[in-house]
Amino acid sequence: MWRRGVSLSSMLSSSKSRLLNQMQVACGFNACQVFSTHVLNPIVAEDGVSGARRKPFVTFVLGSGPGSGKGTQCTRIVNTFGFTHLSVGDLLRKEIYSDSENGSMILDTIKEGKIVPSEVTVKLIKKAIEASENNRILVDGFPRSEENRIAYERVGGVEPDIVLFFDCPKEEMVKRVLNRNQGRIDDNIDTVKERLSVFEELNLPVIKYYSEKGILHKIDGTGTEDEIYERVLPIFAALR
């Protein structure tokens, strides 16, 4: 079990501490908090021994439905900013073809356009994040419901630093999915309709939650892939 621990000031020489204090006065923000959360704070084990790994910068990637362009834009973010892309749909699809006891249940759930039980999904995500040595991670397609979100919180999953939300009109999403051509069992008009209604019922409260938390970045998901990526870039520019 990992948790955050060591304070920034204890890690810095006194001259650096003085500099940070001066910045705090000059900039009107708590420089220690900003830097310690995103850059410097290491993850520390329960026994107090510093782990090799810092808390990764985690971005959750959501959309207004299937075909909103999540996966496409994730590939670009990976190429520019060196993130690891964890597509939760891909993690679930891999489970279907492994020897997992949940394989047939996952297949049926995806075929119906419903949401796989959170305990299954959350375990896969947590394992994938822990296995990744990258400090920048995109979790694409999660949480799809409040139940997803709360289950992840309960197992101590690494919370997102920011959440992207690609907003696209229904007709455009349907057109894209039906042209996707990746042989997916859920890319047919009946499943897409079900997925859109699942989105409205279950996904919207999650969007609202992150919006109220002040970490949601809503992005216009219409236009060409290039045009959309131009809207994404400034969000990550500070990470370069």
Ligand X SMILES: Nc1ncnc2c1ncn2[C@@H]1O[C@H](COP(=O)(O)OP(=O)(O)O)[C@@H](O)[C@H]1O
Ligand Y SMILES: Nc1ccn([C@@H]2O[C@H](COP(=O)(O)OP(=O)(O)O)[C@@H](O)[C@H]2O)c(=O)n1
Question: Which residues sit at the interface with ligand Y, rule CB under 6 A?
Answer: 66, 70-71, 87-89, 92, 109-110, 113-116, 121, 141-142, 144, 148, 186, 195
Host H or E run for residue 192:
helix 189-198
Sheet strands side by side (includes 2-4): 2-4, 42-45, 50-54
Closest CA to 92 of 123, 130, 133: 123
Q: Of the candidates 20, 41, 63, 137, which one interacts with ligand X according to CB under 6 A?
A: 63
Minimum CB–partner distance for residue 61 and Mg ion (Å): 9
Minimum CB–partner distance for residue 71 and ligand Y (Å): 5
Contacted by 224, from ligand Y, Mg ion, ligand X, none: CB < 5 to 8 Å by type: ligand X
Q: How many CB atoms lie within 10 A of CB 65?
A: 26
Q: How far apart, in whole angstroms, are the C-alpha atoms of residue 146 and residue 208?
A: 10
For the record, the structure tokens of 78 come out as: 């990976």
**Residues 163-222 close enough to bind ligand X by CB under 6 A:** 176, 180
For residue 227, which amino acid is it?
E
Contacted by 56, from ligand Y, Mg ion, ligand X, none: CB < 5 to 8 Å by type: none
66 binds ligand X (CB under 6 A): yes
What is the binding site for ligand X (CB under 6 A)?
63, 66-72, 176, 180, 224-225, 228
